[in-house]
């Protein structure tokens, strides 16, 4: 009970801070570390500096064994015992909360500073699919819009030095019998009456600038919770675990920094099942992971529309390397909730592709969402096949062609990228009357098996260059 009273008080303080922040265009993320200067002629020179800035986690040797110390029973609901162990570990100054081999059940888990939640190999933690088990509402963000919604399955708010590690499995148990069937849509009858629910209610709040404290969402709104969310946290490690069957996005670091995601298996094919979505995050390393997802494998974001612009928190300095990406709407996407902008993303030494991979690399926004994306650097990537294009830049996402916030995509470099099957090599779906894409360079790339006779489709871009790069064995002329 003491934990939830404490959490309620923290939420109240958060609402006061958030209201102030949005009204003043402030920034509640702890101060930015040394800025990284990237030389556009050789952006890879900055990689080591970024990596050295990522502050690591570190934990005392104390162990809080959920079975030996707390008498948790395999096959039973261990929610209360697990939360007590996390609180005890936190109060003692930190350490490891250990879940041994076996199958366990739980409701929402709230992590605290200096706690490493460790699942041994053979441990399976299964989460409730009952929405009420994720009450009360917590500060969160849903598709880039701030709100008070049900808790993510694993949640941390304003904590520092936290981890989820081990070779165990976290199973959200989502399926079409429970979470995945929820659509968060307003019926035509309710729309006619001006009664909104779910997504429409969320978007209405954002457009009206409704106070965050009043953006309350309930079970009837059907906003599926994220599997794991770290909100305004610092020094985070997720390593070794497998994430299965998520209600919504699998891993969502939000307004956080110094994040390492290593050797994690993301395996979930439900709606909106993005793998890892850093949103308004800084100093992030995603490495040695396997993605097999129902939506984007990785999607970098920074808030949607006015909520994204108000915080002025871009995503920046993100390294993605040595990953396998199988099914997905995209391998690495930036957007579409990118109103707060994104700077400096490096991708290298990845293997991408399957018959269900749409676009290995994608940036998406429109003239309402806006945002600047500057610095998307890709090298040494092997793509077996994709449905659409190796690189797709979308300036008219959701068919929006006009608005007050035109996006800008610039400094996008691909080097040593090969693809064996696609519809196009690159597809730039820009605006003919407003050039919003510039400085796209392909070097030493080789794309074969392109099915469209045009090879590439480029509209609304300037300074697009192909250097020693072939498309079906030829170097095509760039049509302006």
Residue 232 sits in the same domain as residue 312: no
Domain contains 97: yes
Residue 291 sits in the same domain as residue 312: no
Residue 206 sits in the same domain as residue 318: no
Residue 284 sits in the same domain as residue 350: no
Domain contains 49: no
Residue 356 sits in the same domain as residue 479: yes
Q: Between the CA of residue 354 and those of 292, 334, 348, 359, what are the distances in Å?
A: 10, 20, 18, 10
Distance in angstroms (rounded) separating the CA atoms of residues 2 and 4: 6
Q: Which residues of 308-328 are buried (b: 16+ CB within 10 A; e: fewer)?
A: bbbbbbbbbbbbbbebbbbbb
Residue 412 sits in the same domain as residue 357: yes
pTM for this entry? 0.93
* Whether the Cβ atoms of residue 365 and residue 353 lie closer than 8 Å to each other: no
CA 464 to chain centre: 29
Report, as ranges of residue numbers, the positions in the chain whose pLDDT lies below 50: 1-28, 30-31
Could you tell me where the DSSP H helices lie in 69-126? Answer: 79-91
Domain contains 369: yes
Distance in angstroms (rounded) separating the CA atoms of residues 135 and 170: 20
Residue 11, C-beta contacts closer than 8 angstroms, at least 6 positions apart? 138, 139
Domain contains 47: no
Residue 421 sits in the same domain as residue 351: yes
Domain contains 301: no
- pLDDT in the model for residue 479: 64
* Whether the Cβ atoms of residue 288 and residue 311 lie closer than 8 Å to each other: no
The residue from 225, 260, 295 where one domain ends is 295
Taken as a whole, the chain contains a residue count of: 480
Residue 354 sits in the same domain as residue 233: no
CATH number of the domain to which 138 belongs: 2.160.20.10
Distance in angstroms (rounded) separating the CA atoms of residues 297 and 273: 8
146 is in which domain, residue-wise? 1-41+55-295
Residue 291 sits in the same domain as residue 323: no
Residue 136 sits in the same domain as residue 28: yes
The residue from 273, 295, 317 where one domain ends is 295
The residue from 270, 295, 320 where one domain ends is 295
- pLDDT in the model for residue 480: 55
- pLDDT in the model for residue 284: 98
Residue 351 sits in the same domain as residue 391: yes
- pLDDT in the model for residue 194: 77
**pLDDT tens column, 94-115:** 999 999 999 999 999 999 999 9
DSSP letter assigned to residue 276: B
Domain contains 446: yes
Q: Is the backbone peptide bond immediately before 136 cis, with ω within 30 degrees of 0?
A: yes
- pLDDT in the model for residue 477: 78
Residue 143, C-beta contacts closer than 8 angstroms, at least 6 positions apart? 199, 202, 304, 337
Distance in angstroms (rounded) separating the CA atoms of residues 454 and 477: 10
Number of structural domains found in the chain: 2
Residue 140 sits in the same domain as residue 241: yes
Number of helices and strands (H, E) in the chain? 6, 34
Distance in angstroms (rounded) separating the CA atoms of residues 133 and 135: 6
């Amino acid at each position: 009970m003491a934990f939830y009273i404490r959490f309620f008080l923290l939420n109240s303080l958060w609402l006061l801070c958030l209201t102030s922040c949005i009204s003043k265009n402030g920034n509640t993320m702890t101060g930015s570390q040394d800025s990284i200067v990237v030389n556009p002629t050789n952006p890879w020179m900055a990689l080591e500096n970024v990596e050295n800035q990522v502050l690591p986690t570190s934990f005392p040797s104390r162990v809080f064994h959920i079975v030996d110390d707390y008498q948790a029973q395999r096959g039973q609901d261990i929610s209360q015992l697990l939360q007590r162990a996390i609180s005890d570990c936190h109060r003692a100054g930190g350490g490891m909360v250990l879940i041994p081999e076996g199958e366990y059940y739980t409701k929402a888990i709230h992590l605290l500073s200096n706690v490493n939640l460790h699942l041994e190999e053979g441990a399976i933690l299964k989460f409730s699919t009952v929405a009420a088990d994720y009450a009360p509402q917590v500060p969160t963000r849903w598709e880039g819009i701030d709100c008070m919604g049900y808790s993510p399955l694993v949640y941390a708010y304003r904590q520092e030095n936290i981890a989820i590690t081990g070779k165990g499995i976290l199973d959200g148990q989502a399926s079409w019998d429970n979470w995945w069937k929820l659509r968060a849509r307003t019926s035509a009858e309710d729309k006619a009456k001006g009664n909104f629910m779910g997504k429409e209610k969320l978007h209405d709040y954002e457009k009206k600038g409704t106070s965050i404290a009043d953006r309350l969402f309930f079970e009837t709104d059907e906003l599926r919770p994220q599997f794991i969310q770290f909100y305004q946290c610092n020094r985070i490690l997720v390593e070794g675990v497998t994430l299965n069957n998520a209600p919504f996005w699998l891993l969502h670091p939000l307004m956080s920094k110094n994040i390492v995601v290593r050797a994690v298996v993301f395996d979930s094919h439900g709606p909106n099942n993005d793998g890892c979505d850093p949103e308004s995050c800084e100093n992030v390393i995603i490495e040695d992971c396997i993605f097999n997802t129902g939506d984007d494998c990785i999607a970098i974001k920074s808030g949607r529309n006015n909520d994204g612009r108000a915080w002025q928190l871009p995503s920046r300095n993100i390294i993605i390397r040595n990953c396998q990406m199988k099914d997905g709407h995209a391998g690495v996407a930036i957007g579409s909730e990118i109103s707060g902008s994104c700077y400096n993303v490096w991708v290298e030494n990845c293997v991408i592709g399957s018959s269900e991979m749409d676009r290995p690399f994608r940036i998406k926004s429109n003239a309402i969402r806006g945002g600047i994306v500057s610095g998307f650097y890709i090298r040494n990537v092997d793509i077996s096949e994709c449905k659409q294009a190796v690189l797709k830049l979308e300036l008219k996402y959701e068919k929006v062609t006009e608005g007050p916030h035109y996006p800008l995509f610039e400094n996008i470099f691909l080097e040593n990228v090969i693809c064996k099957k696609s519809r196009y090599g690159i597809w730039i779906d820009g605006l003919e009357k407003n050039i919003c894409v510039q400085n796209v360079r392909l070097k030493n790339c080789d794309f074969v098996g392109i099915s469209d006779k045009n090879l590439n489709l480029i509209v609304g871009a300037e300074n697009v260059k192909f250097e020693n790069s072939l498309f079906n064995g030829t170097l095509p002329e760039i049509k302006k």
